[in-house]
Structure 1
């Protein structure tokens, strides 16, 4: 199979539109922020990309290095990135809403890119899972676990907010979209399992018993609207941005 067909097949089956935006080319040096289990990095490598993956989880880096020993993965937080003029592209999917302050991440990415290098990212944006987080915070307040001025430990920006931040750091924004999509979680315990895995920082200072009570209350409040046919259908939101280093 020729390179064009194999790349087209990869893009259509893995990553969809965000990979179309990245448009990886053979021989490029690409940095992936939040490389996770290494699967995406391996797919990019199969296209002839020289891929470097970083992740803030030491466990994930160990797993990815075990599964893909021919690739380079490092235990690095994007806040501590110290590359300079090294990459043709920096790519990140489903990660940057977990890292703040975003201005430090953007500054580090800009420095890591070569002139005309591109930054492509997709991550959760404004109002992501708003009914869920709103109810969780309401229950945490009921138990006096958080105060009235508590804010979520995530970064869910609007398109305007994020593109303005990129432009403040001298990026030229080429495209930016905000889109909503369902997050589908199977079975009745799907929501609590998701919260326990992806929002664990909200519950780190409470007992297991209190956490289960809160989960029960959140489920009771949301079930009628969002639980159908043994699945949770939750309103997720994402932003997808492409920017270029032009100076």
Structure 2
């Protein structure tokens, strides 16, 4: 993947069109099993929805995100949120757990994120993540490719802002750093899109939309929507995306050196 992502985040649009991202993250919070008094680092905290719930459970949570607007929204929830690139975390071993939901696939240099998590978590601490996995949103990506091709453009004219790993790749990355993988799984999770494919693209796919002016962008969105319709629209008119999630829990051994 080349170049820098042009993705930006609007807190209102995220809350209105993408709240399902955080709400569907509760199972990975259950896998984390946060305990009162624990200090937890939430990597890619977004608007702080899950961090706030961990705080309500008695945890001390620090959230990081690259979006200033989402960090501001998280702070408004009472979260200690900081603008920080997860690929350049500088924390020492001060956390009982490092947690992340729906964020790691946005990070191109995932080894750096894993290195940062290793340094941030105490020996014996855990690293618990759910993110997009191999095969995630293939239906939407196919629609994007067809819409670009219709305009005489190569499908990869815009580098993908995402990297969707499979189980062997992620296990290798974690174990190479020294983590002991306790659980890791790739699974399908069909996900309703309350704002349809167009709403999803408007929130998550800025890289693909940035090349078009307002008029041509609407035409492009209409085309992608039509190409996605056979695979993703249900008979009742609702939209369901073909999400695939990668979820893991790993431990930093008590004997580990930092």
User: Is TM (by shorter chain) over 0.5?
Assistant: yes
The residue aligned with 1:196 is 202
The residue aligned with 2:57 is 47
State the 1:146 CA deviation.
Answer: 4.3
Mean Cα displacement is larger for which, 134-143 or 44-53?
134-143
Larger Rg belongs to: 1
The residue aligned with 2:219 is 213
Report the TM-score when normalising by structure 2: 0.83
Aligned residues: 231
1:149-170 deviation line (CA, Å, top 9, x unaligned): 8642201111111111111111
Instruction: Note if 1:80 corresponds to 2:88.
Output: yes
Rounded to whole Å, the distance in 1 between the matches of 2:101 and 2:154 is 30
Which of 225, 230, 243 aligns to 2:250? It is 243
Mean Cα displacement is larger for which, 213-222 or 229-238?
213-222
The residue aligned with 1:224 is 230
In structure 1, list runs of 5 or more residues that go unmatched: 1-12
Rounded to whole Å, the distance in 1 between the matches of 2:193 and 2:25 is 19
**SS in structure 1 at match of 2:190:** strand
Which of 174, 178, 184 aligns to 1:170? It is 178
Which of 19, 33, 40 aligns to 1:23? It is 33
Rounded to whole Å, the distance in 1 between the matches of 2:206 and 2:161 is 10
CA RMSD of aligned residues (A): 1.9
Instruction: Note if 1:180 corresponds to 2:170.
Output: no
**SS in structure 1 at match of 2:54:** helix
1:2-55 deviation line (CA, Å, top 9, x unaligned): xxxxxxxxxxx9844312211111111110011122221121112221111111
State the 1:148 CA deviation.
Answer: 5.2
Mean Cα displacement is larger for which, 230-239 or 115-124?
230-239
Q: Is the 8 A contact 2:93 2:120 kept in 1?
A: yes
**SS in structure 1 at match of 2:128:** strand
The residue aligned with 2:127 is 119
The residue aligned with 2:241 is 234
The residue aligned with 1:136 is 144
Rounded to whole Å, the distance in 1 between the matches of 2:27 and 2:50 is 14
Rounded to whole Å, the distance in 1 between the matches of 2:156 and 2:141 is 14
Cα separation, partners in 2 of 1:65 and 1:186, compared to 1, 3 Å: closer
State the 1:143 CA deviation.
Answer: 2.3
Rounded to whole Å, the distance in 1 between the matches of 2:158 and 2:76 is 40
